Amino acid sequence: MNKNANELMIEKMDLTYFKELVKARLASMPPEVSFSIGAYGDFTRDQLIEEVENGTKIGLAAIEMEVNFIKRMPKLLAMMEK
């Protein structure tokens, strides 16, 4: 299977670093939040933290979401400066 740009970026950098980053982001959210991730199903904040910790497909999807957000940050910062 071809790897997308985010998967390659995660592979190049340290996966452990991304795991810790995403877990910290999720832990900062209130517990009443939950996420539907396409056909993977529904996850509470704590379930998602566990998926990230275990490095499951769902956990990797959460990491990919964070990578998308980081990649977008320069554009967001430019917008905020306007």
Partner 1 sequence: MIIIRANHDTPTYYLYEVTKQIYKEAETYGFKVAILEGKDINKDALRKRIKTHKPKLISFNGHGSDSSMFDNNSKEFINDNSADVFQDTIVYALACSCLNSLGKAAVKKGCNAFVGYRGNFWIARNHKSECTPIRDFVAKPILDASSLVLKELIRGKSVNDAITKSHEFASKEILKLIYSKEPLAIATLHALSNNDSLLDYEGNGDAKVNE
Least Cα distance to 26 among 68, 66, 73 occurs for 66
At 75, which amino acid appears? Answer: K
CA distance 82 to 50: 39
Closest separation in Å from C-beta 46 to partner 1: 12
| Closer Cβ to partner 1, 13 or 76, answer by number | 76
Does residue 15 bind partner 1 (CB under 8 A)? no
Chain residues in the site for partner 1 (CB under 8 A): 4, 25, 28-30, 32-42, 44, 61, 64-66, 68-69, 71-72, 76, 79-80
